[in-house]
């Protein structure tokens, strides 16, 4: 529609357009950086208020501008009657092409009561604006004498002004998109090529009969579909790099290689058989090493274990060690669960409440701004759990198998609570497994390093790995710097950074024989993931159900939160008197 009939949007609503003419204020609030969403609304006397995040006020305040005195806001996030007004959304093209507009990405997030009206992030908003200006450039170039509809839409006086403005906007939004996605011009061009090659098919699936209007409802629905489809599109950096490299190889094959081979054969053409059989052996072959490659090398060369003990333990690590990094996530997820439900629900209610119901309940209670972080914590909790699923663990004289967690609609909240029996016992054993893996790794490295202390300078510093037994660390206070935070993808990246790929003519089918700086790799892993880590004794708080609040437990709770009651200058402590009274009253 933009290319064929741009005049339709003179009195219509273009996607990604601002909701008011005060966008420079909200961009200034971002401090020149991308991130954050702000909505401008007005009190009944038309005094502006700037609301961050979802645009729905979660507190009630008095407007003090010019002695207004009107009460506005909402404490529940459910009511649509907040006392604030949303002015009529401007129609047409309302971008100004300012430096501020082209340096900070816009995003829009607005609720009315419990209903989300609009949500579009900086990536999607900037991408839509880039596509809009490219489409308008095509329309402008198609009419040599200038398009009157474009001049009216953009509020420009002549064709030259339209052309210069559209070029500046297209270039500006291309650069802004690169800044937001952190892709250079080359990779961003590859990414846009991939996107544009599939966009027509995607659009036709959404709208088989074309976009059926320029009203706000239709426009916001299009933004919603676009946001859902392309929000994470530019995160495929590895794929874009591979496509970019492949395109360079194709260019080389079509030009340089053909010329070289034609000289060898003294002819301008060669058949596919010759190309397949001989061309690969004329060039240097580059192999990138992987984590598995180095692991196999340690297995094939036992002497490396004594030379590089820490690296050996990393290469031979079991699943438990790679899951230790989730301990902070487990602690934070359980901390939120305890905060919202401990001593407030019975065990039966906890068993019947699913994860989906729990998160929905938090949303309904007005925790919408935190819900996304809750979801991420739950995702990490579940990922760690399932990485250890089907393992057999012991509890006293008995043993049981850790079950897998599948559908959030059926997973009981009880699995997120620590108890000494039933489902709550499983997470206790998982935490202990991770604690043991953490301590065993540090102990193994310590023993090996003492045996071969003269090999590496890092082992001479005994403060890098300290064994502090008996010092408890509360589960809720565990940070990533407290644990062996190994990540296989990052370890692989370190290996590649300190490796020199093999370069041999005719090595297309030979095994990899990369040159590695194992000492540098080991030092890098030590510094990033292991340095200053200590042995852990994790204090796991047990979840308390409301039906457990008998007199004895209540005394324990009072004692826990009122330590001063344990002390008395003359006579026994008050808490002891109360405990004695409880005993004799039985």
Sequence-distant (≥ 6) Cβ neighbours of residue 428 within 8 angstroms: 418, 419, 420, 540
- Residue keyed to tokens 């529940």: 76
> Residue 337 has what pLDDT?
93
Lowest mean pLDDT among 32-46, 102-116, 229-243, 331-345: 32-46
Q: What percent of the chain has pLDDT over 90?
A: 16
> Residue 331 has what pLDDT?
94
Using a 10 angstrom Cβ sphere, with 0-12 exposed, 13-18 middle and 19 or more buried, the burial of residue 545 is buried
Judge contact between 50 and 29, C-beta under 8 A.
Answer: yes
> Residue 477 has what pLDDT?
92
Query: Does residue 571 have a pLDDT over 60?
Result: no
Beta partners for residue 465, in sequence order: 533
Average pLDDT, the chain: 78
> Residue 574 has what pLDDT?
52
How confident is the model over 380-399, as pLDDT tens digits? Answer: 999 999 999 888 888 877 78
Long-range Cβ contact pairs of 365-368 (< 8 A, separation 24 or more): 366/58, 366/75, 366/76, 366/77, 368/54, 368/77, 368/111
Lowest mean pLDDT among 76-90, 114-128, 331-345: 76-90
Query: Does residue 114 have a pLDDT over 80?
Result: no
Question: What is the average pLDDT across 525-529?
Answer: 86
Query: Does residue 569 have a pLDDT over 50?
Result: no
Query: Does residue 417 have a pLDDT over 90?
Result: yes
Lowest mean pLDDT among 87-91, 93-97, 136-140, 277-281: 277-281
Query: Does residue 583 have a pLDDT over 60?
Result: no
> Residue 452 has what pLDDT?
57
> Residue 355 has what pLDDT?
94
> Residue 551 has what pLDDT?
59
> Residue 459 has what pLDDT?
43
* Gap between the Cα atoms of 284 and 22, Å rounded: 58
Query: Does residue 554 have a pLDDT over 90?
Result: no
- Domain positions in the chain are 7-238, 245-281, 284-453+467-549, 550-583
Select the more confidently predicted residue: 148 or 560: 148
> Residue 67 has what pLDDT?
83
Task: Please tell me the pTM assigned to this model.
Answer: 0.46
How confident is the model over 302-347, as pLDDT tens digits? Answer: 888 888 888 888 888 888 889 999 999 999 999 999 999 988 898 8
Question: What is the average pLDDT across 441-459?
Answer: 63
Confidence of residue 31 (pLDDT cuts 50, 70, 90): low
β-pairing, 515-516 vs 499-500, is antiparallel
Question: What is the average pLDDT across 56-69?
Answer: 81
Question: What is the average pLDDT across 408-417?
Answer: 92
Question: What is the average pLDDT across 408-420?
Answer: 91
Lowest mean pLDDT among 26-30, 185-189, 222-226, 450-454: 450-454
Confidence of residue 572 (pLDDT cuts 50, 70, 90): low
Sequence-distant (≥ 6) Cβ neighbours of residue 470 within 8 angstroms: 537
Judge contact between 207 and 226, C-beta under 8 A.
Answer: no
> Residue 461 has what pLDDT?
46
Query: Does residue 5 have a pLDDT over 90?
Result: no
Query: Does residue 288 have a pLDDT over 90?
Result: no
């Amino acid at each position: 529609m933009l290319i064929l009939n741009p005049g339709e949007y003179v009195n219509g609503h273009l996607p990604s357009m601002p909701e008011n003419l005060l966008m420079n204020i909200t961009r200034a609030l971002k401090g020149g950086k991308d991130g954050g969403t702000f909505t401008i609304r007005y009190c009944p006397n038309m005094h502006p208020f700037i609301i961050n995040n979802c645009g729905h006020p979660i507190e009630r305040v008095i407007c003090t501008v010019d002695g207004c005195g009107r009460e506005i806001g909402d404490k529940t996030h459910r009511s649509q009657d907040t006392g604030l007004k949303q002015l009529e959304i401007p129609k047409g093209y309302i971008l100004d092409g300012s430096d501020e507009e082209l340096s900070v990405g816009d995003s829009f997030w607005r609720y009315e009561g419990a209903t989300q009206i609009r949500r579009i992030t900086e990536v999607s908003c900037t991408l839509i604006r880039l596509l809009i200006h490219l489409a308008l450039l095509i329309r402008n170039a198609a009419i040599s004498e200038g398009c009157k509809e474009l001049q009216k839409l953009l509020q420009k006086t002549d064709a030259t002004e339209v052309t210069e403005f559209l070029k500046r906007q297209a270039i500006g939004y291309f650069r802004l998109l690169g800044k937001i996605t952190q892709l250079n011009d080359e990779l961003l061009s590859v990414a846009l090529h991939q996107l544009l090659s599939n966009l027509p098919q995607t659009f036709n699936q959404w709208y088989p009969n074309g976009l059926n209007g320029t009203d706000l409802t239709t426009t916001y629905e299009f933004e919603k579909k676009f946001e859902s489809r392309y929000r994470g599109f530019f995160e495929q950096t590895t794929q874009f790099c591979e496509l970019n490299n492949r395109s360079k190889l194709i260019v080389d094959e079509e030009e340089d290689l053909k010329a070289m081979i034609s000289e060898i054969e003294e002819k301008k053409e060669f058949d596919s058989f010759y190309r397949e059989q001989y061309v690969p052996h004329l060039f240097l072959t580059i192999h990138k090493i992987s984590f598995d490659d180095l692991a196999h090398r340690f297995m094939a060369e036992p002497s490396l274990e004594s030379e590089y003990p820490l690296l050996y333990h990393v290469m031979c690590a079991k699943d438990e060690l790679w899951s230790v990094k989730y301990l902070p996530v487990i602690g934070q997820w359980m901390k939120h669960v305890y905060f919202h439900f401990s001593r407030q629900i019975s065990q039966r209610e906890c068993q019947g409440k699913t994860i989906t119901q729990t998160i929905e309940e938090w949303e309904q209670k007005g925790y919408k701004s935190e819900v996304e972080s809750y979801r991420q914590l739950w995702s990490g909790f579940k990922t760690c759990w399932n990485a250890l699923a089907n393992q057999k663990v012991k509890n006293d004289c008995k043993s049981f198998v850790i079950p897998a967690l599948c559908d959030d609609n059926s997973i009981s909240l009880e699995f997120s609570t620590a108890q000494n029996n039933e489902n709550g016992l499983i997470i206790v054993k998982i935490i202990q497994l991770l604690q043991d893996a953490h301590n065993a790794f540090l102990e193994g490295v310590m023993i090996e390093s003492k045996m071969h202390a003269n090999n590496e300078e890092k082992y001479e510093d005994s403060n890098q790995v300290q064994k502090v037994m008996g010092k408890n660390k509360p589960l809720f206070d565990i940070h990533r710097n407290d644990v062996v935070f190994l990540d296989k993808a990052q370890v692989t990246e370190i290996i590649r950074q300190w490796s020199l790929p093999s370069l041999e003519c005719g090595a297309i089918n030979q095994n990899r024989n990369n040159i590695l700086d194992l000492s540098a790799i080991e030092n890098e892993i030590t510094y990033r993931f292991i340095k200053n880590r200590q042995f852990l004794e994790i204090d796991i708080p047990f979840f308390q159900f409301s039906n457990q609040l008998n007199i004895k437990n209540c005394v324990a709770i009072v004692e826990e939160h009122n330590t001063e009651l344990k002390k008395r200058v003359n006579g026994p402590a008050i808490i002891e008197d109360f405990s004695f009274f409880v005993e004799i009253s039985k």
